[in-house]
Structure 1
Amino acid sequence: MSRNKKAKWTWGMAALLSALLIVSGCGSKSGGSIVEGKINVITTFYPIYEFTKEIGGEEVNVVNLLPTGVEPHDWTPKSQDMVNASKAQLFLYNGAGFEGWVPSFLKGLNKDSEVKAVEVSQGIQLIDAEGDDGHNHGASDEAGHEHSHEAAGEAAEEERDHSHDEAAAEEHAAGSGTAEGTSHHTDPHTWVSPKSALIMAENIKNSLVDADPEHKAQYEQRYEALKDKLAKLDQDFTEQLSGLPKKDIVVSHQAFGYLCRDYGLTQHAIMGLSPDAEPRAQDIVNLTKTVNEKGLRYVFFEELVSDKLAKTLANEAGVETLVLNPVEGLTKEQAENGENYFTIMEKNLQNLKKALQ
């Protein structure tokens, strides 16, 4: 092989290897890659990703960290996720303790990163829930709001103090977990209620306008369209659930506190705030009694976690199971079928109506 041909071959192999590394590092596992010339936004899980894409449109490249079909409570980011986040303009996370890995993740970003971290649940009246969530999700500790990384510090200064006293009283009416735990944790599942989703969408829009004021009109226009859809969904939940005879639901894990608070329901959860928080045998006995006393006909389960406990309880109580989806992520089948936050929430509404008749 001549020197020129050898040089070309070596260069070609190097280029191929580089391309393979880029593809493997930024493929489906990391949810996408950074695109030059656009506002790059990293989102932590599905609902934030969907709302950001809707508002951001063509001006924004959105990279979702959580892979399709993965339940987010136990997921942790990879090194490539840190690389992407360091190059992005915005890092949007739910907050309220949902992503326990965020503080250390932000501290690990490149020192020269200019990414701005935004907690999109800010402004929502948060709910205090009783009982251990199994993974310290939602626990009140300063680490959850302490960002040493300079870029994240800007977001930390903007975070509002959330008062939980009134919300805790309302949560008692909205229903808490079955465990007799003495610890209190913030319920992070804000997005499951359209009323909270409206606040989150506005926070996302504001963060995009701050990062890219040149396209403010486009962001505002697309936000208004999303706002109209969320307001319609809120209206549907309000009107269609208000007149139903039953007000109690039995669910897999304690993810529906905001939905229950906003639409006058009470949840009875098999597990705590995390779907991995193990119930006790006495909890199953108590829930079976609740199902029978209140004349409930269904126990709700969700697709991204095992339905074993829900089916066990349903068998014990002699009732059936139905899906109630906390919209933490899409299954691969749902993604392939074009499902989204709105189609899933519409199915949730129909199943709630069926169960509460």
Structure 2
Amino acid sequence: MTNRKDWKLKPAGKGTDGGRRIKGSLVALALLVVSTVAAACGGNGSKLVEGKMNVVTSFYPLYYMAQTIGGEHAHVVNLIPAGVEPHDWSPKSRDLETVSKAQLFLYHGAGFEGWVDNFLKGVSKDSGLIAREMSAGIELIDVGDGDNGAADHDHEHEGEAASGSELDHEHEGEAASGSEHDHEHEAGDGHNHSLDVDPHTWSSPKTALLLAENVKNAMVEADAANAEAYEANYAKLKEKLEALDAKYAAELSKTTRKDIVVSHQSFGYLARDYGLNQIAIMGLSPDAEPRAQDLVKIANFVKENGVTHIFFEELVSDQLARTLANEAGVETLVLNPLEGLTPEQERNGDDYVTIMERNLQNLLKALQ
């Protein structure tokens, strides 16, 4: 078995037969548009309250951190409801209204929320809102950097077929310009499909510690009167995340295998922080479709390097990962990128820590 942290997928040159060699079932499935489980679009319907600091977050990990740190002094609203994949979500005018009336708006940045710049332009300057980017100060992974362990599918335009690909994705009546995302973009424009950096910082407990500190600092800034309570709650959260980080580091250091094949390229920070090698079927956005020659190379890599499992996630279609696993003769497991909870996870009381613990167990099973 090889363990190459800088392993990359390079595009097959024109005239090669890489795409033609792929088995029929993979070709057929690669033509599918990878869709999200979009049970709803828009805010979660939570109303702001009086007597507490109202905090609005752009997606689940920030919601979890803000709610934990805020305790009884903050009312936290998450813009994206359970079951909706953030890459497929755009704000509506009602979301702008909610944010405009809040005291604090926390978003991740680093290109994750492609809509955020235009969205914030719609907030009145006299609203009193404090908006803060939570990835500020974190060492981000450059796309294509060999140190991140991420597979490079040459997705020059995430979500569109690469030029020269043997798979001409028609998107069933939708223009290649990205019109599939044109629905109700009232308050902010769309998604960033050509990211320069990997924005998925929260996939690693080690890096999540930095996010949590940024969340705490922003809450103290916006509500200094309750700074002592925020600091105390943050200290408890920090202790949990440090324990999780230590557990990841200790357990993953013992594994003989280091390669993880994942459905979308959202575990670069996990790979970087714990010595793993990420090979992704799709790019930084889960709707970035792989080319046939990419699937051939991944299937060959799986067979040649003794990979026993291919990981999929709950909020996007698992068909491509399952079919690739079937072709390679391996099994599948869930590796949750924690971009959001499913309704069932929300009902069960799952949170960032419990799901990350589950992720670790599945990683250990696949890498043993």
Q: Provide the TM-score with structure 1 as the length reference.
A: 0.79
Question: Runs of 4 or more off by more than 3 Å in structure 1?
Answer: 27-31, 180-184
1:80 corresponds to which of 94, 98, 102 = 94
2:300 corresponds to which of 265, 289, 299 = 289
Is 1:115 matched up with 2:126?
A: no
Structure 1, gaps ≥5 residues long = 1-26, 131-167
Q: How does 1:306-321 map to 2 (within 5 A)?
A: 306-321=317-332
Query: What amino acid sits opposite 1:353 in the alignment?
Result: L
**Of the two structures, which has the highest relative contact order with CA contacts closer than 8 Å and spacing of 6 or more?**
2
Is 1:256 matched up with 2:276?
A: no
Whole-angstrom distance in 2 between the partners of 1:302 and 1:232:
24
Query: What amino acid sits opposite 1:175 in the alignment?
Result: G
Query: What amino acid sits opposite 2:293 in the alignment?
Result: Q
Q: How does 1:98-137 map to 2 (within 5 A)?
A: 98-130=112-144
Secondary structure at 1:63 match in 2: strand
Q: Which residue of 2 aligns with 1:196?
A: 207
Q: Which residue of 2 aligns with 1:272?
A: 283
Higher-Rg structure is 1
Q: Provide the TM-score with structure 2 as the length reference.
A: 0.77
Q: Which residue of 2 aligns with 1:229?
A: 240
Whole-angstrom distance in 1 between the partners of 2:236 and 2:69:
9
Conservation of the 8 A alpha-carbon contact between 1:192 and 1:259: yes
Conservation of the 8 A alpha-carbon contact between 2:87 and 2:285: yes
Residues 15-72 of structure 1, C-alpha deviations (whole Å, 9 max, x = no match): xxxxxxxxxxxx9943411112211111000000000000001110111000110000
Is 1:347 matched up with 2:358?
A: yes
Secondary structure at 2:256 match in 1: coil
Whole-angstrom distance in 2 between the partners of 1:262 and 1:204:
21
Residues 173-199 of structure 1, C-alpha deviations (whole Å, 9 max, x = no match): 332234135676210000111111111
Query: What amino acid sits opposite 1:34 in the alignment?
Result: L
- Please, what is the CA RMSD of the aligned residues? 1.5
Q: Which residue of 2 aligns with 1:325?
A: 336
Structure 2, gaps ≥5 residues long = 1-40, 157-193
Conservation of the 8 A alpha-carbon contact between 1:129 and 1:177: no
Whole-angstrom distance in 2 between the partners of 1:101 and 1:208:
23
Query: What amino acid sits opposite 2:338 in the alignment?
Result: V
Residues 145-174 of structure 1, C-alpha deviations (whole Å, 9 max, x = no match): xxxxxxxxxxxxxxxxxxxxxxx3xxx133
Secondary structure at 2:48 match in 1: coil
Conservation of the 8 A alpha-carbon contact between 1:92 and 1:119: yes
Q: Which residue of 2 aligns with 1:238?
A: 249
Q: Which residue of 2 aligns with 1:47?
A: 61
Percent identity for Structure 1 against Structure 2:
61
- Please identify which structure carries the higher helix content: 1
Q: Which residue of 1 aligns with 2:171?
A: none
Conservation of the 8 A alpha-carbon contact between 1:298 and 1:321: yes
Secondary structure at 1:229 match in 2: helix
